[in-house]
Structure 1
Amino acid sequence: MKRFQLMNPQVILPDKQLTEYIQHFLVYETKNKQASTHISVFPDGHPGIIFFKGDNGIYQTPPVQQPTCFYISGQNMHPTFIKIPGRFIWIAAKLRPYALKNMFAITSKEIGPYCMSIEQDFPAVLAKLNDAKNSKAIIRILQQFIKECTNTNGHKIHEIVKKCTQLIIKKHGTISMKELREAFNLSERTLQRYFLAEMGIPPKRFARIIHFHYAFQTLTTEDQKRIADIAYEKGFADPAHFSRTIKRFTGQSPTGFLLKRRSL
């Protein structure tokens, strides 16, 4: 009989020389052949490079564009739900918001709402990942791969976009676009153009994702708090605005999400 488990990840920091490109690694792993593991991935403002290896495959909603175990995810606006039967290891290198263009010469717009397989583009890297014996070895290979990508593409990180994303994250997504433009002396059109060219999404949408993630962390870690208290504490106009935001990015109201979480 399969034993259902809702899994939380192990968080691993990258080597210091790669912190400009990598936020952290998320590691999900089980050696239990009878397990049925569910992983929920919600928007957080960071694209990713993902590697999966398991006994029985992976079931993902929404699906990747083709069956794959080595792929890129972009700036998604919707949750991803993953079900994995049996033993597996699933590792995501969560990248800085602006890193995709530098590494692969693409943005989240090219990836779209799905994920993009890179198995055929990097077969030698995939072979090394499949031969790796444990998560430490996989992370070491992924870091070397990321380092090589940043050195070969030739596209430099856009410093203004980098600083804008850093300020948005520092302000937890609550900064207005007017304040952001004034901070860097940019016109509305120029700010929009920079973000679309480098990240594939408008700055306001990125700020919404960051604001959601900031509030969502409190909802999941301090779930005894009143929803109204969280809403005002995290800078939402009212509880209704907070509820709409949570539902937009998770597919459920805050109450519905917590009830489901507590029942697992």
Structure 2
Amino acid sequence: MTEQTIALVTGANKGIGYEIAAGLGALGWSVGIGARDQERRESAVAKLRAAGVDAFGVPLDVTDDASVADAARLIEERAGRLDVLVNNAGTTGNAPQMPTTVDVATVRTAVETNVIGVIRVTNAMLPLLRRSSSPRIVNMSSTVGSLTRQTTPGAEVGPTSVAYSPSKTFLNAVTVQYAKELSDTNILINLGCPGYCATDLNGFRGVRTAQQGAAIAIRLASLPDDGPTGHFFDDAGEVPW
């Protein structure tokens, strides 16, 4: 009998994270709904369970060491391992983000959540991932973090941003370093861009649905054992660095 796949999605109580959890649950996986807000987390779990998903709540603040450690213990007690980690939790940071006038606290907040939070959660979950026969890590990034696109005249890369966009560039670089260190293991780690989705992070101005944005994460979470690692993808294919 095949063991049920155990996944954790951070920032999964709403938006793209919720749709990632729903999509993984539709595969028959057991999905941890990582979120800080208890009411929203419990509501998301209830909604997913009503839809037939084997969902369970995971109290999780990616910026807090103790919260992340508690989340790892919860998953260990529940399943004894983790097969898939989707680092989806993120923030755009406050506006404005013009380099010459930005409040440095805005930059610090974006990096703390979008980069350090990913490192914190990944490292806490790695012992559980190492117990999996086919471990996968998906880091949700953005094409606005692509330096190639940022420096290409006429490319659509959004407004000038000294906090959010560079935090995704930083995350991309960090993911490459993980892939290098883990190259002699069976852990596949990749970056996925959901595209410009209508979520509360952008005031629902996006042109894609959260469900469409979740597709790339679901694909990377379910890669075969000979799949890529240390790469950056969106729905159209590989994204240039």
Whether these two folds match at TM > 0.5 is no
TM tier, shorter chain? Answer: under 0.3
Give TM-score, length-normalised by structure 2. 0.28
Which entry has the higher C-alpha Rg, 1 or 2?
A: 1
Greater fraction of residues in strand: 1
Give TM-score, length-normalised by structure 1. 0.26
